[in-house]
Chains A and B, each alone.
Chain A
Amino acid sequence: MTDISRIRNFSIVAHIDHGKSTLADRLIQSTGTVADREMKEQILDSMDIERERGITIKAQTVRIDYKAKDGETYVLNLIDTPGHVDFAYEVSRSMRAVEGSLLVVDASQGVEAQTLANVYQAIDAGHEIVPVLNKIDLPAAEPERVKEQIEDVIGIDASEAVPISAKTGLGIPEVLEAIVARLPAPKGDAKAPLKAMLVDSWYDAYLGVVVLVRIFDGVLKKGDRIRMMQTGATYPVDRVGHFRPAMLPVDALYPGELGFLTASIKQVRDTRVGDTITTEKKGCETPLPGFKPAQPVVFCGLFPVDSAQFEDLRDAIEKLQLNDASFSAEMETSAALGFGFRCGFLGLLHLEVIRDRLEREYDIDLITTAPSVIYHIYRTDGTMLELHNPADMPEQVKIDHIEEPRIKATILVPDEFLGDVLKLCQDRRGVQLDLTYAGSRAMVVYDLPLNEVVFDFYDRLKSVTKGYASFDYQVTGYQEDDLVKMQILVNDEPVDALSTMVHRARADARGRAMCEKLKELIPQHLFKIPIQAAIGGRIIARETISALRKDVTAKCYGGDITRKRKLLDKQKAGKKKMRQFGRVEIPQEAFINALKMDD
């Protein structure tokens, strides 16, 4: 076993593209953890165990042996966490599993919003933080300005920031020395009962569920019977080991160490990120603090374009759930779209990842309905309904009031776009909490309703700032507001999949915008089609798609038949991409595009 005083556990905090993966590669390479001939770019992202980790929610770990200048050999455990805000809870658990962080900042770009959210997580976890300025070799690098920004915005000492170029390898030895010298060693008692944290888990086709653990106290050995303190489930341990970064079995894991265990666990759903693992007998008394069950916050309907693919969709969802416990799915029936699933996600990126995987890996064409959040509907009889789908809204007379989730959003933006960003937030019912400057960049903090953000807020933000803004958020809680369900009627019939919850004050504008959008999205028919937005029985907006007037082939003789018939067959195939609703055909993309606002 390694002397605990010579273990250093750390994570790397960085904005996307600021060089986190390249730095990880250099640390692994320069310490000889992976032989040069096996080294490939972004080794942690290309591991067989989870090829798609870059976009999933799984943490990555590597154990590095490093011979320091003091002559001693240290064990460095690096946890690479997903940076995205959707997985904030998973990130917070990873942060609790280590004692320090490298804060990597691009020396020309400076601090971004995503960096901020993650660095605050590191500060909350009590980390020692070593700032690292990357891309120092670039002509545009301004290390002094960025140091100042780190001190101003984040409030940590950056005077001893390590200048590096992960690309060329410049400064890598200094980073390794800083990890040993400046980050604290973990603490733990090998003789105490086992206390380990379940940091993450994933499904492996050969081994079943693999659990990433951090040992706090005690020793975890192969053959031990362990107990998950939240679920109460017990398992015999099949294997324990280290990540180098491939899985290497060892006899035992000791306090301060990070490693894996396998124990014939069938589904990732049986493991809870943040749970405490102890031994079945003579286990520890109190679990580690801070456990939270995974909570989907964004919901949408997923329906197969071809209704015959419903069973395929069910199978595909079950397979994805093997590896992702945070993604929920319940069967749903829609008058417009048939059978499908109401799915819950940790956030928008999570939604997109799952939807893309269903379409790409399982080859199922999907209709996605507008994302929605969970509303708390307080009925007049005092009970509360968690509303996941606007279509299930109770009658207005039975509702006392409605609460909706709100977020604290942090946006960093160059000065010149600040006005547009403030307008966007204001339009989305935001309340400004803070506005500060760091050099030529502004940091605005807004309290916003989550439902105004889940759909196209990020797209709009990127568009009004030409991509220069960075954005992050956390859910803060529920708040009452004047919310109503808006229905859309196409050819006088309500289309359930187009129902949305809106703020009463914005309903007229939103209704008009949706009707105008649908007018563009639904093709002309042989008859005119009214499109209306309604609240309760009251029509608040109306558009009409005029009837088709001219669609006939002028010349069609003997030589034209084959071509015209083939064109017809092509259009017949195209019709599959439409949903028949009453006498009206609605293109499948209309269900989501109708919501996109050009503010």
Chain B
Amino acid sequence: MREDWQSGGFGVYIHWPFCASKCPYCDFNSHVSARVDHARWRAALAAEIRATAATLPRRQVTSVFFGGGTPSLMEPETVGEVIRTIAEVWDLAPGTEISLEANPTSVEAGKFRAFRDAGVNRISLGVQALNDPDLKALGRLHTAAEAIGAFETARAVFERVSFDLIYARQNQSRAAWEAELREAIAIAVDHLSLYQLTIEPGTRFGDLFARSRLRGLPDDGLSADMYELTQEICASSGLSAYEVSNHAWPGAECRHNLVYWRYGDYAGIGPGAHGRLTRSGERAATVAYRDPAEWLAAVERTGSGIESTDTLDAEIQSEEMLMMGLRLTEGISLARHAALAGAPLAIGPIEALEGLGMVRHAGDRLTVTEKGRPVLNGVTKSLLFQ
């Protein structure tokens, strides 16, 4: 019998929790540590992959993704060991997408060839901004020139290179963002991630914001305008949005992230990593110990870094599938949603949203329109809350 996760595939996510410094906007599980015992980490990551595979045999891997933290700080040998282990325990076809996030510094650019030799075939660079004052404000350790240099190096080494920018930054005008975006598109190859700055609690920006000390953030009107502008410019350059914040040439989408949005299964390897795993017909959410030392100790002592495993009921799965799927331009299959939820989605809210031009309902597909995407949270709530 075909299981639901197969609509999304199976991804393997590797979390490297260390950074050279902490960025003020970042709420990911990242830690600044002077000394990392790379050999121990290498062994632990491999052990965790084996432990996961023991409960999840015979899987065809759709994609592998090294995220963080800053995985470009990993030793290429560790990256190689992880990829070898995955190929050993699961089916890793040649040409499968293997991405690695990298900081665009000259030091890390020097490791790109070694990463490629270890098996990485796609790089995602955290460029974030194309001018030095803004990079400084975002807490980045590189300059714009250095980032462009790293990008050139990456292009020479890898076939697939993407980079991230953060916009709707402090004191950023609509015109300034337009110029920056056009510059980025001129550089870009086939994939761009464009994120509006989000102030998260528990970050330095979050603390400043709570004390009303973070000035110059755009209001909802300006950030909506910037979002619209971004969609227009990217679309006219052939880099249409395939997800809320992600743009690609047709066929150049990040396979790994599609696993999440298409609500496939994924193994979360490393501190704080989350997983969705279907075993014996039941789908569970797994969460690994968040603290690096605690995770490492757990793997070494018990053979697993997983702190909790919760079985997800049909309602939760259908909610997650809808919430993630509507982020994609391709939308969701209503039949798949109904099969998960045990009942079809109510037609009333769909029709009301269609009347507002927020969604499109054609055959089995439900998609969010360009008008609906900037208010996706509201659209999702309208569909889910009866």
Which A residues are closer than 8 A to B by beta carbons? 525-527, 548-559, 561-562, 564-565, 568, 571-572, 575, 583
Whether the Cβ atoms of B274 and A558 lie closer than 8 Å is yes
Nearest to B287 among chain A residues (CB) is A562
Whether the Cβ atoms of B319 and A568 lie closer than 8 Å is yes
**A565 to B381, alpha carbons, bound, how many Å?**
11
Known contacts A551-B375, A551-B378, A559-B268: does B224 contact A568 (CB below 8 Å)? Answer: no
Kindly provide the distance from the CB of A522 to the nearest chain B CB, expressed in whole angstroms. Answer: 14
Interface of A is mostly: loop
Q: 8 A-B contacts, Cβ less than 8 Å apart?
A: A526-B353, A550-B223, A552-B375, A554-B245, A556-B260, A558-B266, A559-B272, A575-B385
Nearest to A564 among chain B residues (CB) is B323
Inter-chain contacts of B154 with A (CB < 8 A): none
**A553 to B381, alpha carbons, bound, how many Å?**
13
Whether the Cβ atoms of A568 and B384 lie closer than 8 Å is yes
Kindly provide the distance from the CB of B129 to the nearest chain A CB, expressed in whole angstroms. Answer: 15
Kindly provide the distance from the CB of B10 to the nearest chain A CB, expressed in whole angstroms. Answer: 12
Known contacts A550-B220, A568-B323, A572-B384: does B378 contact A557 (CB below 8 Å)? Answer: no
**A91 to B324, alpha carbons, bound, how many Å?**
65
> Could you say which of A525, A549, A551, A572 contacts B377, with CB atoms under 8 Å apart?
A551
Whether the Cβ atoms of A561 and B374 lie closer than 8 Å is no
Inter-chain contacts of A571 with B (CB < 8 A): 381, 385
For window 192-207 of B, CB contacts with A under 8 Å fall at 195-198
> Could you say which of B245, B272, B276, B378 contacts A548, with CB atoms under 8 Å apart?
B378
Whether the Cβ atoms of A550 and B224 lie closer than 8 Å is yes
**A551 to B227, alpha carbons, bound, how many Å?**
11
Inter-chain contacts of A557 with B (CB < 8 A): 257, 260
**A550 to B374, alpha carbons, bound, how many Å?**
5
Whether the Cβ atoms of B385 and A556 lie closer than 8 Å is no
Kindly provide the distance from the CB of A472 to the nearest chain B CB, expressed in whole angstroms. Answer: 43
Inter-chain contacts of B223 with A (CB < 8 A): 550
Inter-chain contacts of A558 with B (CB < 8 A): 11, 13, 259-260, 266, 268, 274-276
Residue-wise interface mask of B (255-281) relative to A, using a CB-CB cutoff of 8 A (1 in contact, 0 not): 001011000001010001111100000
For window 178-222 of B, CB contacts with A under 8 Å fall at 195-198, 220-221
Known contacts A549-B224, A557-B260: does B319 contact A526 (CB below 8 Å)? Answer: no
Whether the Cβ atoms of A555 and B272 lie closer than 8 Å is no
Kindly provide the distance from the CB of A559 to the nearest chain B CB, expressed in whole angstroms. Answer: 4
Known contacts A549-B375, A583-B352: does B320 contact A561 (CB below 8 Å)? Answer: yes
Kindly provide the distance from the CB of B8 to the nearest chain A CB, expressed in whole angstroms. Answer: 11
Q: Is B247 an interface residue (CB 8 A)?
A: no
> Could you say which of B11, B221, B276, B384 contacts A549, with CB atoms under 8 Å apart?
B221
**A135 to B275, alpha carbons, bound, how many Å?**
70
Known contacts A554-B245, A556-B324, A558-B276: does B385 contact A549 (CB below 8 Å)? Answer: no
**A568 to B323, alpha carbons, bound, how many Å?**
9
Known contacts A565-B319, A565-B323, A572-B384: does B260 contact A551 (CB below 8 Å)? Answer: no
Q: Is B140 an interface residue (CB 8 A)?
A: no
Kindly provide the distance from the CB of A448 to the nearest chain B CB, expressed in whole angstroms. Answer: 42
Nearest to A576 among chain B residues (CB) is B385
Whether the Cβ atoms of A526 and B245 lie closer than 8 Å is no
**A555 to B197, alpha carbons, bound, how many Å?**
10
Kindly provide the distance from the CB of A491 to the nearest chain B CB, expressed in whole angstroms. Answer: 13
Inter-chain contacts of B380 with A (CB < 8 A): 568
Kindly provide the distance from the CB of A560 to the nearest chain B CB, expressed in whole angstroms. Answer: 8
Whether the Cβ atoms of A549 and B374 lie closer than 8 Å is yes
Whether the Cβ atoms of B195 and A556 lie closer than 8 Å is no
For window 281-339 of B, CB contacts with A under 8 Å fall at 285, 287, 316, 319-320, 323-324, 327
Known contacts A526-B382, A568-B381: does B195 contact A555 (CB below 8 Å)? Answer: yes
Inter-chain contacts of B28 with A (CB < 8 A): 559
Whether the Cβ atoms of B319 and A555 lie closer than 8 Å is no
Whether the Cβ atoms of A527 and B316 lie closer than 8 Å is no
Kindly provide the distance from the CB of B30 to the nearest chain A CB, expressed in whole angstroms. Answer: 12
Q: Which of A525, A551, A554 has the most CB of B within 10 A?
A: A554
Which B residues are closer than 8 A to A by beta carbons? 11, 13, 28-29, 195-198, 220-221, 223-224, 227, 244-245, 257, 259-260, 266, 268, 272-276, 285, 287, 316, 319-320, 323-324, 327, 352-353, 356, 358, 373-382, 384-385
Inter-chain contacts of B275 with A (CB < 8 A): 558
Whether the Cβ atoms of A526 and B244 lie closer than 8 Å is no
Inter-chain contacts of A526 with B (CB < 8 A): 353, 356, 358, 375, 378-379, 382
Whether the Cβ atoms of B245 and A555 lie closer than 8 Å is yes
Kindly provide the distance from the CB of B19 to the nearest chain A CB, expressed in whole angstroms. Answer: 16
Inter-chain contacts of A565 with B (CB < 8 A): 316, 319-320, 323
Known contacts A549-B224, A559-B268, A565-B323: does B385 contact A572 (CB below 8 Å)? Answer: yes
Whether the Cβ atoms of B356 and A561 lie closer than 8 Å is no
Kindly provide the distance from the CB of B49 to the nearest chain A CB, expressed in whole angstroms. Answer: 16
Inter-chain contacts of B327 with A (CB < 8 A): 556
**A553 to B27, alpha carbons, bound, how many Å?**
14
Kindly provide the distance from the CB of A383 to the nearest chain B CB, expressed in whole angstroms. Answer: 45
Nearest to B355 among chain A residues (CB) is A527
**A549 to B221, alpha carbons, bound, how many Å?**
7
Kindly provide the distance from the CB of A214 to the nearest chain B CB, expressed in whole angstroms. Answer: 60
Nearest to B264 among chain A residues (CB) is A558
Contacts A526-B358, A558-B11 known; list 16 others, CB within 8 Å: A526-B375, A550-B375, A551-B375, A551-B377, A553-B376, A555-B198, A556-B244, A556-B327, A558-B13, A558-B275, A561-B320, A564-B323, A565-B316, A565-B320, A571-B381, A571-B385
> Could you say which of A548, A550, A556, A559 contacts B273, with CB atoms under 8 Å apart?
A559
**A548 to B227, alpha carbons, bound, how many Å?**
14
Kindly provide the distance from the CB of A358 to the nearest chain B CB, expressed in whole angstroms. Answer: 28
Q: Which of B196, B220, B266, B375 has the most CB of A within 10 A?
A: B375
Known contacts A526-B382, A559-B272: does B374 contact A551 (CB below 8 Å)? Answer: yes
Inter-chain contacts of B224 with A (CB < 8 A): 549-550
Kindly provide the distance from the CB of A111 to the nearest chain B CB, expressed in whole angstroms. Answer: 46
Whether the Cβ atoms of A554 and B373 lie closer than 8 Å is no
**A432 to B319, alpha carbons, bound, how many Å?**
63
Inter-chain contacts of A559 with B (CB < 8 A): 13, 28-29, 268, 272-274
**A139 to B216, alpha carbons, bound, how many Å?**
54
Q: Which of B272, B323, B385 has the most CB of A within 10 A?
A: B385
**A525 to B381, alpha carbons, bound, how many Å?**
11
Inter-chain contacts of A553 with B (CB < 8 A): 198, 244, 376-377
Nearest to A567 among chain B residues (CB) is B377
Kindly provide the distance from the CB of B271 to the nearest chain A CB, expressed in whole angstroms. Answer: 11
Whether the Cβ atoms of B274 and A554 lie closer than 8 Å is no
**A275 to B178, alpha carbons, bound, how many Å?**
83
Nearest to A562 among chain B residues (CB) is B285
> Could you say which of A551, A561, A572 contacts B274, with CB atoms under 8 Å apart?
A561
Kindly provide the distance from the CB of A305 to the nearest chain B CB, expressed in whole angstroms. Answer: 16
**A289 to B42, alpha carbons, bound, how many Å?**
97
Inter-chain contacts of A552 with B (CB < 8 A): 227, 244, 373-377
Kindly provide the distance from the CB of B51 to the nearest chain A CB, expressed in whole angstroms. Answer: 19
Kindly provide the distance from the CB of A512 to the nearest chain B CB, expressed in whole angstroms. Answer: 24
**A558 to B268, alpha carbons, bound, how many Å?**
9
**A52 to B152, alpha carbons, bound, how many Å?**
78
**A554 to B356, alpha carbons, bound, how many Å?**
23
Kindly provide the distance from the CB of B215 to the nearest chain A CB, expressed in whole angstroms. Answer: 19
The 3 closest A-B pairs by CB, nearest first: A549-B224, A550-B224, A552-B376
**A568 to B315, alpha carbons, bound, how many Å?**
13
Whether the Cβ atoms of A554 and B198 lie closer than 8 Å is yes
Inter-chain contacts of B352 with A (CB < 8 A): 583
Kindly provide the distance from the CB of B40 to the nearest chain A CB, expressed in whole angstroms. Answer: 23
Nearest to A578 among chain B residues (CB) is B385
Nearest to B377 among chain A residues (CB) is A551
**A65 to B227, alpha carbons, bound, how many Å?**
83
**A553 to B319, alpha carbons, bound, how many Å?**
16
**A549 to B376, alpha carbons, bound, how many Å?**
10
Known contacts A526-B375, A565-B316: does B220 contact A549 (CB below 8 Å)? Answer: yes
**A549 to B29, alpha carbons, bound, how many Å?**
31
Kindly provide the distance from the CB of B226 to the nearest chain A CB, expressed in whole angstroms. Answer: 9
